[in-house]
Amino acid sequence: MSDVWFYHLQRATLEEALPRLVVKAREKGWRVAIRTTGEERRDALDDLLWTFEDESFLPHVTETDPQAAEEAVVIQTGEGDLNAPDALLLVDGAALPEDLARYQRVTLIFDGDDDDAVAQARVRWKAVKAAGHEASYWTQDEKGRWVKKA
């Protein structure tokens, strides 16, 4: 069974949280796929991973790169596993894959200021638990540290 983590963005933005999650996954040696719902957002996340810190960047490609299958980090809009990822990060309501068990970890990142995103996360939480997967709920404390709440 896969670990499914729910990251409830209340203090941090996606642009602040996503690069850190990718770095952590890469530190584990995992291949990473980031799925979003549109090309514009994909391209914005592409720019983000190149520029999120002044002193560093995260090597990656988008699904449009002919070498995507060989890359450790791919940003995509489609549902295929282009780079055989160990970690799947879902943003902007990207669909849960049918076979969650094929990943080491699936992370759903959702905006706490978006009522629809919160409602969708609750539905997904119930579905993940009903399917027998381990689910964890994470939120930030007042100092900005991620804390497991459930």
* Domain with 136 in it: 3-148
Provide the pLDDT confidence category of residue 106 given band limits of 50, 70 and 90: very high
In 3D space, the residue among 105, 99, 66, 100 whose CA is nearest the CA of residue 83 turns out to be 66
CATH (domain of 38) = 3.40.50.10110
Provide the pLDDT confidence category of residue 21 given band limits of 50, 70 and 90: very high
Q: Are 73 and 17 in contact (CB under 8 A)?
A: no
Given this model, what pLDDT does residue 81 score?
92
Number of domains in the chain: 1
Average pLDDT over residues 93-108: 94
Given this model, what pLDDT does residue 46 score?
96
Given this model, what pLDDT does residue 117 score?
96
Please write the tens of the pLDDT for every residue from 41-82. Answer: 999 999 999 998 888 788 999 999 999 999 999 999 988 899
Q: Are 93 and 117 in contact (CB under 8 A)?
A: yes
Residue 41's Cα: distance from chain center in Å? 13
> Is the pTM value of this prediction over 0.75?
yes
Given this model, what pLDDT does residue 1 score?
64
